[in-house]
Structure 1
Amino acid sequence: MTARANPAPPLRGRRRGANATRQAILDAARARFAADGFTATTIRRVAADAGVDASLVMQYFQSKNELFAAVMSVPVSALGHFSAAFEGTDEGLGARVVRAFLDVFETDARSSAPLMAMLRGAIVNEQANEQLREFLQERLLVGARATRAVDEEAVLRVGIVSSMLVGLVMGRNIVGVPALTAAERETLVTLVGPAVQNVLAPPGRSQPREAS
């Protein structure tokens, strides 16, 4: 059975400074994400473990995604790649999503190192596997929800695309499939983009907008 993170005792004596509080939240979140995975971890649980109010956690980190990014040393700026891919019409959506994925894993040095470490860990560590899978799928869902209505089928489609793209990055950067490692990035976007497009926005399927 996986060990659970234990809540910190109530704060006593002199109050911690901002840096110490932020670090306490990060330490608690790291333990909680490792124990429970991304989905089951909540801001309230992290706050309880760190011995602070949930509102204070939200002052330092605007969302669970940003907290996870900070724990895994993924810069918040990298999260915008996924959301930006869904801006605009469905035309070219597949290519934009593939390009964003490769940008985050291969081009942005600050985000690629921790993400690749997560990917390598996912091969042998179920918790890392779960965290990576849930985090990437959630990022795509956040991007989709920002501009589109997301129903149960859309969630499934995002999950399929997440699996496809993780497989592409793993084959290219971990396994080292010769054809993938030798291919130019834009060549992969051109070849894989239509497949992702067909899953996310197949011909004839409407994509209603969220009500404003």
Structure 2
Amino acid sequence: MEEQPEGPMSHTRRGRRPGQNTTRQAVLDAARRRFAADGFKATTIRAIAADAGVDAALVMQFFRSKDELFGAVMSISPEALSRIASAYRGPAESVGERVARAHLAVWESDQPDADALRAMLRGAIANEKANTLLREFIEARLSEGARQSASDSHDTEVRVALAASMLVGIVVGRQIVQVAVLAKEETEAIVRHIGPALQTLLAPRP
């Protein structure tokens, strides 16, 4: 078998893996490097599979989506991802408050998911690649639920970017910088304030 040259993508060889756990770990290692190199948006399951030396279908057996694979790499549980996704189920006229509540619940809990997300955020503040990775991941979550503009996709992108910036900024103020008045405020009070703004951004009236 041909040896791969030394470098950031030289971590695998094609062929049968000795066991399921080893194969799963190889996929996680490949995904971690690929996400770091290309960002969330540009990374594909096919590219990760190629790096790990396995079929894309096998990757999907371990992880049902790119979101879930990213969550596993970053130690974010499928339950946390599902909680955010579930915010978009329900009446359109209250999606802003549901999204605000779901994001804050995941980011500010005492569970390992929150620790992983806050670690990502601290890294994003200091590192451009980490910044891009986190931004694209959050925007992808919001894009899935945002009401698409019928004739202006750029408008949708701007609204999603603003919503993502708002949510990240609030977490930075409460958890990282710890602005006193924000850090002490009850979560539901924050939700009441930002819910209407997120509502306008994610589900604008025609």
The normalised TM-score by structure 1 is 0.86
How many pairs does the alignment contain?
A: 197
Deviation at 1:142, TM superposition (A): 2.6
Superposed, which structure 2 residues align to 1:18-167 within 5 Å? 18-107=20-109, 109-144=111-146, 152=153, 153-167=155-169
Identity %: 54
Unaligned runs of 5+ in 1: 207-212
CA distance in 2, matches of 1:62, 1:134: 19
Provide the rounded CA distance (Å) in 2 between the counterparts of 1:66 and 1:10. Answer: 24
Distance 1:150 1:107 in 2: 34
Q: Work out the CA distance in 2 between the residues paired with 1:85 and 1:199.
A: 15
Question: Does the CA contact (< 8 Å) of 1:9 and 1:51 recur in 2?
Answer: yes
Cα distance change of structure 1 residues 80 and 143 upon mapping to structure 2, 3 Å threshold? farther
The SS at the match of 1:176 is: coil
1:196 equivalenced with 2:198 (yes/no): yes
Alpha carbons 2:145, 2:202 under 8 Å: kept: no
C-alpha separation in 1, matches of 2:13 and 2:88: 43
Structure 1 vs Structure 2 CA RMSD: 1.7
Q: CA contact under 8 A between 1:95 and 1:194: conserved in structure 2?
A: yes
Between 80-89 and 132-141, the greater mean CA deviation after superposition: 80-89
Q: Identify the residue that residue 12 of structure 2 maps to in structure 1.
A: 8
1:170 paired to 2:163 = no
Aligned mates of 1:67, 1:74 — CA distance in 2 = 9
Question: How many Å separate the matches in 2 of 1:26 and 1:189?
Answer: 35
- Measure, in 2, the Cα distance between the counterparts of 1:77 and 1:21: 23
How far off its partner does 1:149 sit? 5.1
SS in 1 for 2:27: helix
Whether the aligned pair in 1 keeps the contact of 2:108 and 2:114 (CA below 8 Å) is yes
Q: Following the alignment from structure 1 to structure 2, what is the Cα–Cα distance between the partners of residues 7 and 40? A: 20
Q: Which amino acid aligns with 1:102?
A: L
Please say if residues 38 and 131 of structure 1, whose CA atoms lie closer than 8 Å, have aligned partners that are also in contact. yes
Shift in Å, 1:7: 6.0
